Amino acid sequence: MQTGQLWDIFCTVIDNHGDLGVCWRLTRQLRDAGQRVRLWVDDASALAWMATTAHQEPGIEVRPWADASQASTLQALPPADVWVEAFGCTLPEAFVAHGVATRAQQPRWINLEYLSAEDWVPRMHQLPSPIMSGPAKGWTKTFFYPGFTPDTGGLLRETDLLERQQNFDLLKRSAWRQQHAPNLLPNGLLISLFCYEPAALPQLLAQLVGTPHHLLVPPGRPLAAVLQALAGMPEHPSWSALPYTDQNGFDEMLWACDLNFVRGEDSLVRALWAGQAFIWHIYPQDDNAHHDKLEAFLDWMEAPEILRKVHRVWNGVEEGRLPSLTGNSHINWMQSGQAAKAQLLRHKTLVQQLLEYAAHL
């Protein structure tokens, strides 16, 4: 039963796999906690494969962003208790003006920020931001920062995630690997590659040539990058392309593989919960601000030096040779990931904290 508050979540899509993935997880987890949610998004097309039942989910409405500027639409909708602008998107002025004109008091207005392990995040978390101009002048929004420590907003995690992981036992894992990589040799590593366009990608592919390892490449930018790199190589590693999959299917890929290359925010968090060895391709920024973010994350994780080196080369922070991914390195990296996961499990999730905050504003 959805008897809780009504939430309006706004999302502008920069990367179908990233911003929308996070917003859909947040929407679904709030609904599972008894809330009602309207997700306003400017491009919901990726939900067709990411969340195939999104438009039929009880307690959830997926609405076109443009409708938030239509007076007839707004007049027909009950006002929400909470507004969430995800990742710095700006709410439509007509939507805000309608809220100001029709409400006795302002909603709980949350600016949900990007994820970072930098040391300034706890200081900024839950800071109020008075609105100085526009139709909502005099109202206040609050910054909410996801994070890796108890003094931040936490991470998204479904209440049944650990149970689903446990149910993905050795038999199911073996069946998954047989289905998606039937040519994997017994002593080979199964590696997933979800990335942008790293300069070190040709090095990785060359390193895997002639090994028993097999590379699984999701569609979109990873596949395009691999195809471009392979075009200039005389020999190719063992690899295969994966189809689009929903979010649960992506989790199963992470659980089934021995080493996962992940990118951005959403898949990083999923890799942490998976507890397998992973290498993160952070979202690149023009001013190289992502370099500091990467180092802050590696510091929080207490990553061993070889894993730091892999991350720096993979992300273009350092030039030089990509350290070897063969041998037993991934076992040590997995232990680092599992220690980080155990630490995170002691903290409240992002949804738990949002619910507590919205209830006591």
* Residues labelled catalytic: 19, 265
Would residue 90 be called left, alpha or beta, if left means φ above 0 and alpha means ψ between -120 and 50 degrees?
Answer: beta
Q: C-alpha distances in angstroms, 273 versus 139, 157, 249, 338, 343?
A: 37, 8, 14, 8, 11
**CA atoms in the 13 A half-sphere facing the CB of 148:** 25
> Is the distance from CB of 237 to CB of 263 less than 8 angstroms?
no
Tokens of 134: 């526009």
| Pair 12, 65: CB distance under 8 Å | yes
Rg for the chain, CA atoms, rounded = 21
Beta partners for residue 8, in sequence order: 38, 83
Interaxial angle between packed helices 221-230 and 201-208, expressed in degrees from 0 to 180 and rounded to the nearest 10? 70
**Strand 60-64, strand 36-41: pairing:** parallel
Residue 128 to residue 169: CA distance in whole angstroms: 45
What are the two backbone dihedrals, phi and then psi, of residue 30, each rounded to the nearest 5 degrees? -65, -45
Amino acid at 4: G
Q: Would you state the torsion angle of the CA atoms of residues 25, 29, 32, 33, taken in this order, to the nearest 10 degrees?
A: -170
